[in-house]
């Protein structure tokens, strides 16, 4: 099964970097990209991704609120991973509060971390 991924970030360079990470990770494919929290909510409904990579700081509603809305709309059908430049110790608790499965600092985001985070939440082994 291929994991369908929605990338949400207001910075085009990071969306491109995240797309490269997803493309380099076996079993994952990008199905869409959003720049705002509002767009992420509607695209999560329209595209039905398995996984949303959500930036914390977004124009309009922030990534925490967008995560709450996506999970409210789609429930267990989607996993959200929060990404940001902030330290993990600061944002990991906020990820849990909004229902996100995990928080990954952007500096640490790569194929290995993506596979491990998915394995942790899906129960499937990482490669």
Q: Residue with structure tokens 């309009």?
A: 60
Question: What's the burial of 61, exposed, middle or buried (CB within 10 Å: 0-12/13-18/19+)?
Answer: middle
**Residue 127 included in any domain:** no
Question: In terms of residue numbers, what domain contains 43?
Answer: 3-122
Residue 72 lies in a domain: yes
Q: Examine residue 40 and state whether it is found in any structural domain, yes or no.
A: yes
CATH number (domain holding residue 18): 3.40.50.2300
Residue 39: predicted pLDDT: 96
What are the distances in angstroms from CA 13 to CA 8, 24, 91? Answer: 12, 17, 22
- Reference 59, options 106, 25, 10; nearest CA is 10
Domain count, the chain: 1
| 92 Cβ neighbours under 8 A, 6+ residues apart | 102, 103
Rounded to two decimals, the pTM is 0.93
> Has residue 39 been placed in a domain?
yes
Domain assignment present for 16: yes
Q: Is 76 inside any structural domain?
A: yes
Give the model's pLDDT for residue 96. Answer: 82
Is 61 inside a domain boundary?
A: yes
Q: What is the pLDDT along the chain (127 residues), one digit of tens a residue?
A: 899 999 999 999 999 999 999 999 999 999 999 999 999 999 999 999 999 999 999 988 999 999 999 999 888 889 999 998 877 777 777 788 899 998 899 999 999 999 999 998 887 655 5
- Residue 41 placed within a domain: yes
- The answer to whether the CB of 21 falls within 8 A of the CB of 53 is no
For residue 125, the model assigns a pLDDT of 59
């Amino acid at each position: 099964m291929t994991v369908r991924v929605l990338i949400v970030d207001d910075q085009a360079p990071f969306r491109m970097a995240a797309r490269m990470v997803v493309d380099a990770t076996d079993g994952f494919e990008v199905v869409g990209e959003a720049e705002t929290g509002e767009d992420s909510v509607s695209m999560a409904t329209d595209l039905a991704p398995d996984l949303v990579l959500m930036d914390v700081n977004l124009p309009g509603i922030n990534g925490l609120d967008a995560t709450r809305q996506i999970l409210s709309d789609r429930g267990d059908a989607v996993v959200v991973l929060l990404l940001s430049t902030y330290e993990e110790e600061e944002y990991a608790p906020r990820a849990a509060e909004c229902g996100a499965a995990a928080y990954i600092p952007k500096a640490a985001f790569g194929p290995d971390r993506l596979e491990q985070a998915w394995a942790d939440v899906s129960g499937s082994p990482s490669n």
